Structures are given as structure tokens and as C-alpha cells.
């Protein structure tokens, strides 16, 4: 039996990159907006479907990990880089609580203290 495939795309500028993920795909792998940081963005609601732009340093990694654990294969579309500030920087920021990052950070602190 073959794995289901989710298509994603890296986009960025000279300073940062984001992984573009369809809104439904975020939920399919078991993530919620509040799991993510305020450094990720979304385009919408006038654009359908909503696309989440997951910050490269943590949120994108969480999505990739969750997708793999849920048994999905990721298909990476050709990446896109822009000169100057990327338009993603002008999208709506998530109001996430960084629940995943905070949990990982606390676990690392406890491990160092042990």
C-alpha cells in the first residue's frame, strides 16, 4: 500500500524561509494553529484554500515530523526565492502559542538538569 502524498513548497528571501502547507494538511497530520509559533503566517481568508507558511527554524520541522509519523509522504514542489523582502512577510501572522516549541524546550532543559 502506497503512502498518501502531501505537496509542500519552500519559499523565502535572503533572510528567511517558510514551508507552504495547505490548511487542511495541517489538520490532517494532527497540528493546530496554537501548536505553532507567531513566526509563521497564513494567507487568507480571501485566498482559498488557506495556505500556512511555516517558519523554517521550528514550525516547518514540526510539520515534517508529524507528517512522517502520520504516514504521509511529502512531495516538495520547486522552491521559490525572492530578492528583497518576500511577500509572505506581509501576510497575517499566526497567533500561535508555540505549544510544541515550548514543550520541546522544557524537555531539553529537564534533560540538561538531570
Domains annotated for the chain, with CATH where assigned, are 5-113 (3.30.780)
Q: Tell me the CB-side half-sphere exposure of residue 77, using CA atoms within 13 A.
A: 13
Residue 106 near residue 45 (C-beta atoms within 8 A)? no
Residue 1 near residue 69 (C-beta atoms within 8 A)? no
Alpha helices in the chain, H assignment, sequence order: 23-28, 59-69, 99-113
The pLDDT-based confidence of 29 (bands split at 50, 70, 90) is: very high
pLDDT for residue 58: 86
Q: Which comes out higher in pLDDT, residue 114 or 19?
A: 19
Rounded CA separation 68/78 (Å): 20
pLDDT tens string 48-107 = 678 999 999 989 999 999 999 999 999 999 999 999 999 999 998 887 666 566 666 566
What are the phi and psi torsion angles at 65 (to 5°)?
-60, -50
Amino acid at each position: 500500500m502506497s503512502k498518501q502524498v502531501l505537496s509542500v513548497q519552500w519559499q523565502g528571501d535572503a533572510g528567511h524561509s517558510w514551508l507552504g502547507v495547505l490548511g487542511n494538511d495541517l489538520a490532517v497530520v494532527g497540528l493546530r494553529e496554537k501548536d505553532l509559533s507567531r513566526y509563521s503566517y497564513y494567507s487568507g481568508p480571501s485566498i482559498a484554500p488557506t495556505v500556512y507558511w511555516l517558519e523554517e527554524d521550528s514550525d516547518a520541522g514540526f510539520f515534517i515530523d508529524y507528517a512522517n509519523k502520520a504516514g504521509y509522504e511529502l512531495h516538495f514542489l520547486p522552491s521559490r526565492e525572492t530578492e528583497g523582502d518576500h511577500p509572505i512577510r506581509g501576510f497575517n501572522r499566526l497567533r500561535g502559542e508555540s505549544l510544541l516549541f515550548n514543550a520541546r524546550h522544557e524537555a531539553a532543559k529537564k534533560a540538561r538538569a538531570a
